[in-house]
Chains A and B, each alone.
Chain A
């Protein structure tokens, strides 16, 4: 829990003085049996686009519903633009929160034209202003020419843009996007995603985008929040999440990873494949850890006397993925360029690319400094 607290930056980092667009403090929601979220802490500065990722059932949709006001937290506090919208004594109904929603199936009102869909949230504006705002938003998503169409007459990508324009119309403090691209064709998805992100940036809108696509999470978000079993495992910039995963789950969920038992002795990290790297600052320790190896960091060299051998080869086009069985029976994977292909059975030596500083795990958590109460006496490999 404390690790998550640290990874969430202090409130108000974004714009000086302004409160964060959205904060969650200890937000908990239980369901009868299992699914729910547990003690979520998160602060999203104004203007950021945060991606929320995790396997299905991890609680990401529940988090969205809690923020939108479609669920009531059992404990904790939620603020939107500095205003408390949910805590022990207060609950603001969704229609009174400044939170916009974009759904996977777009959820456009089928009986209203595009313009009327966008105008739906603007009923408190005078007519002239409303018309102007609708026009501005349709221009923003480049759909002004379709204002009088009905949702069923639009393509999936156009529907998505209308949904975004509709959500942005009332100038929400936060827009929540629940897997907004997953109902689109593969070919369309990348373009719509680029347009959406551009629109959000252009309008300076704070966004939370839920996805189950790792690439999307890493490429779109200014920050990535990884959830698992109802808790936040890590919340950080994409590079950190990928290169310095905070937990075993994050390491394996955000990209491929193999784990090998290893030992840090006098600042030297060793495991089954030999010396992996040096670990500065660990000079005085002797600790058993697990080392995280990403396939792109693993190098192979054919060598007849080696104890490891190739157990599988997958051709992926530009790269070839090699599965290597080590002497212990454990496997590691390695990306090789498309012109390198070691046949199954080839004996290979496995090394780690120079300059790699792999993540070390004690238990299921990553460690960067030697654990104070050294967990286990070292076992000789």
Chain B
């Protein structure tokens, strides 16, 4: 990079007139170093994957794999759009029994990871499950049933677990629309339906696109759930090729393919969002007033919401609870199972170290930006957060590859054994990959808190003789505390839930709660998997409530001012 001069004397950002300061070389360098460290594994994958093209024969089932991935992503995307968008529409545009309660409950399926929902689904519908048993008793053993371990079933399960992303985005888009546009459409002669179709929906499009992109990314990242259903996506391919052959070139080539899918999703989101910047100003966020449904349509609406909620949350959690109580009743000592304690502790430890690291890095980056630094620093800062858009398989392979390259380099430099077993023998690799993956949510909440501190506060502190370190300690850190707390919590929970990266990078004999659930479920020990699964669901409910509270605050705001307006 030719940026050392630019770091010391940054040019002003193009558009922003207000900068925070003149930049501090040490802090600016920190941001650039972090960006490089975060970007290295992904770059390594791209370089190795593209560089080795043709040197290995692609897996025989490459084409079916690509098609399966496409079908799965499109299927889950369409499903989430219909279910999430439809439900958001129902609860926003209509009033019906239980609507006020369902608005919030419909987010809950987000707390059940797909790999948990998946095995509960299998337990109910697979050959040995109650549904097929019942069918066999009624219609005889030769009764035809559709194959449960199949692509459509995977699409169904992932849709049920991921639709809340679209639901949340669509809902906040509908709530946040200023009343002005809707009112204008009505006064210009549109009927209610026309106004919704011609104004409200197009305005919600960017949010729908964002929700859809989130869903597709999660679908692409997953390679645990889909394996229950024998669905071979490219992410599964990376995992299997690596675990089967330990051939870097073969794995990175597939990983590049996964990355291509991710880029396609992001590009599609951009395209769908269009050039539109639908930031709406003014208006009391009154929006359209919901229409009250009566009679059969009202109950149908309630039923639709309850069905989605049951399938995505109530039934699976109920089943897990039944199994868990059964387990405990059968053997109360189960709770004290040393493995249970150990795996849970593993999960928590890794998650907490990750969270602290992510928050520390986020604070450092946010602080460096406030110390000024211009274009290079803000670009580097953006680069640090891109890990969230990179599928776990790519990050995992990238981390392995980076350390392998480092090993070779060290050995060549005369260090016998290189980094030793740092990656394969310890959790350092997992931590590294986690930090890359979870830096974005951490930075988002820490950054949001930092942004609330006016530039004048930072400037005042500087002019009062406080240097960058003192400002970080005495001003920025105390004032960003709420964001730090949220970031710590979100990352801990995300990391406890995480599965693909651990599967790929865990050292021999290292198991976390999520891996344990996955392994037990793969062996069909569903009852045994229930307790750790419940722990994960319980933990995952917390951020769901945070999300709900944020949206609710906005909506309460909207409805109170709406009442004033009436």
Contacts and interface: CB of A to CB of B under 8 A. Distances in A.
A247 to B, nearest CB: 25
A340 B319 CA distance: 91
A32 B374 CA distance: 12
Contact of B479 (A101, A110, A166): A110
Main secondary structure of the interface of B (DSSP, over half): loop
B283 interface: no
A95 B460 contact: no
Contacts of A149: none
Main SS at interface, chain A: loop
Nearest to B9: A72
A91 B12 contact: no
B454 A105 contact: yes
A71 B474 CA distance: 23
A99 interface: yes
Nearest to B463: A101
A96 interface: yes
A170 B464 contact: yes
B543 interface: no
B465 A95 contact: yes
A35 B463 contact: no
B459 A96 contact: no
Contact of A35 (B17, B20, B22, B464): B17
B457 A123 contact: no
B551 interface: no
Contact of B14 (A32, A69, A99): A32
Interface residues of A, number: 35
A100 to B, nearest CB: 6
A120 B456 contact: no
A118 to B, nearest CB: 10
A31 B460 CA distance: 23
Interface in B468-485: 470, 474-475, 478-479
A65 B460 CA distance: 11
Contacts of A170: 464-465
Contacts of A111: 478-479
Contact of B12 (A32, A103, A123, A167): A32
A260 interface: no
A172 B460 CA distance: 13
A95 B371 CA distance: 12
A68 B22 contact: no
A124 interface: yes
Given A31-B12, A32-B12, A91-B22, A167 B463 contact: yes
Contact of A68 (B24, B463, B478): B463
Contacts of A35: 17
Interface in A156-213: 163, 166-167, 169-170, 172
Given A105-B456, A109-B457, A95 B462 contact: yes
Given A103-B456, A107-B454, A94 B463 contact: yes
Contacts of A95: 462-467
A123 B470 CA distance: 10
B19 interface: yes
Interface in B251-306: none
Contacts of B14: 32
Contacts of B466: 95, 120-121, 123
B465 A71 contact: no
Interface of B: 9, 11-12, 14, 17, 19-22, 24, 372, 454, 456-457, 459-467, 470, 474-475, 478-479
Given A70-B372, A107-B457, 10 more contacts: A35-B17, A68-B463, A94-B462, A99-B463, A100-B463, A101-B459, A109-B457, A109-B461, A123-B470, A167-B464
